[in-house]
Structure 1
Amino acid sequence: MTIERRPRHILVTGASRGIGRATAERLVASGDTVTVLARSQDGAEQVRAELGAAVVVAADVTDASALEEALGTAAKRSDPIHVLVNNAGGAETALVSRLDVDQLRRMMALNVEPVLNAIRSVLPAMKEHGFGRIVTIASTAGLKGYPYVGAYCAAKHAVVGLTRALAQELAPTGVTVNAVCPGYTDTDLVSGSLDRLEQKTGRARADLLAEFTGANPLVRLIRPDEVADCVRWLAGAGASSITGQAIAVVGGEL
């Protein structure tokens, strides 16, 4: 049985909620061996109990040493990691006119550095076996600009750039590298952003949500399972010629 065929060892970061959880659920259902990585051990264990994930590890992804240790532990408890899904991330809001370097650095530390560190940890084994899938959950904020989230946009643009550069380097090795770029998705990340904007601007939540969804021709938030299905496809054998792409899951907005 080749690595491209089931089962494979897939690790999903930030898998305790939102897109990460939906992705882990889809991949477990497909018969893959899934490792759930979450910030807390309790959160990871809860996902394993509810979804049937094979392995759980806990780490703060912004701690490079802890992340590397967690990835190493996952590989030891199962097989080398064949598919890495970089999902962990987050956003902060601020007008660009009020944006400071500290916030920009926090967004890079949360959304970009862990992606690079995780890739560097799993890449040697992928190259050795001549197979690998690296899928990073970026955002349409990596493809266009949005108000109030300038530092987040900068970080997600950096992730897309890293994806495209690495795909060029790895194309001959059998390792593909892609980004999935959801629009506003029905997760607690978007809910938190709405909370903060509501507090800062005093505007009604319904009006803010209407702005979030207004540019989407579907006129609704994207569902986490819709993003997860795209990740599942990119992780599969049928996407072996797809690399260096930033695929927008946004209902036609772009």
Structure 2
Amino acid sequence: MTAGMLDGRHALVTGAGSGIGRAVALALAAAGARVSLAGRRPEPLREVAEQIGAGQTGGARALALPGFDVTDRAAIDGGLADARAAFGPLDILVNNAGEAPSAPFEATDAALWAHVLAVDLTGVFQVTQAVLPDLKARGAGGRVVTVASTAGLAGYPYVSAYCAAKHGAVGLMRALAVEFARSGVTFNAVCPGFTDTPLLDGAIRTITAKTGRTAEQAAASLTRANPQGRLIRPEEVAATVLWLVSPGAASINGQAVAVDGGEMAGG
């Protein structure tokens, strides 16, 4: 039973307009949190905010923060100022914003490498650092969860920059878990396998363009990575995030939780 579990808590979710971020935002709001929805595009964020607001009583539960670019510290600080003005200091941060362009390693130029690391790793660093004073003040209730990937636990071909960034994001959470252990703030990563999101749709388009396979064949090649023979649902990832930010997860710190149907179980 999660209803009311996060009453009075303020959560920020980056990349909240679609996919895993949207599912996480909805789950946090259903548990009683006030949710600041961060992202670059206004319309998806407003749609999520409206969905959260439908049927709510007792004041606003969601705030859209368009123009929140995790690679731009000024944009981060401006968005956080608006979030704090609406709902007070932050208690929970979910780093979800990310991109996963693919290219053979030999065709990965410095610009692509820098862009992926800027969004998927440096963005996590910047937002976490900006929110940390609020979380330290919260103490034992402070939570950071970074949505990484099984690419942060293993290697995959044609996404070397993405793998490097996600390995870095997992390592950052582990480092901060130790550094701030006595503050009561916890830092964890969630590592989904191939998940049914718009990000995966882009991967399928890339596979079809490069191999000539149909979209159905490309999707089937991805589902084979999961021993359960299916894609992960965003709601399953959101349920894991919800557990990690719950009061009962105070001792879960510095972990990388795979949500992958058993993909990582083989080594």
Q: TM-score range by the shorter chain?
A: over 0.9
Q: Distance in 1 between matches of 2:11 and 2:187?
A: 14
Are residues 1:108 and 2:109 paired?
no
Contact 1:134–1:176 under 8 Å retained in 2: yes
Give SS of 2:257's match: strand
Partners in 2 of 1:60 and 1:128 — Cα distance? 25
CA distance in 2 between partners of 1:206 and 1:150 (Å): 25
CA distance in 2 between counterparts of 1:72 and 1:177 reads 23
Counterpart among 174, 190, 203 of residue 164 in structure 1: 174
Q: Distance in 2 between matches of 1:125 and 1:15?
A: 20
In the comparison of the two structures, how many residue pairs are matched? 251
**Secondary structure of 1:178's match?**
strand
In the TM superposition, what whole-angstrom CA distance separates every residue of 1:181-209 from its partner, at most 9, and x where no partner exists? Answer: 00000001001111022112222322222
Q: How big is the shift at 1:5?
A: 5.7
Q: Which runs of 5+ in 1 are unaligned?
A: none
> Is the CA contact (8 Å cut-off) linking 1:71 and 1:118 kept in structure 2?
no
Distance 1:57 1:100, change over 3 A: same
C-alpha RMSD of the superposition: 1.3
Q: 1:63 aligns with which of 72, 75, 98?
A: 72
Aligned to 1:130, what secondary structure does the other structure show? helix
Maintained 8 Å contact 1:182/1:222: yes
Is 2:6–2:33's contact at 8 Å kept on the other side of the alignment?
Answer: no
Where does the alignment leave 5 or more consecutive residues of structure 2 unmatched?
Answer: 54-60
- Asked if residue 78 in structure 1 is aligned to residue 79 in structure 2, the reply is no
More displaced stretch, 72-81 vs 82-91: 72-81
TM-score, with structure 2 as normaliser: 0.91
DSSP 3-state at the match of 1:134: strand
What stretches of structure 1 move > 3 A for 4+ residues in a row? Answer: none
| One-letter amino acid matched to 2:43 | D
Deviation string, structure 1 residues 40-84 (Cα, Å, up to 9, x no partner): 233322211122242221212222210121012101211200000
Verify the 8 A CA contact 2:10 2:36 in the aligned structure 1: yes
* Residue number among 85, 88, 96 corresponding to 1:87 in the alignment: 96
Structure 2 residue identity aligned to 1:64: R
> 2:6·2:28 contact (CA, 8 Å) conserved in 1?
no
**2:31 partner letter:** S
Could you tell me how far apart the structure 1 residues matched to 2:81 and 2:173 are? 22
Separation (CA, whole Å) in 2 of partners of 1:47 and 1:60: 18
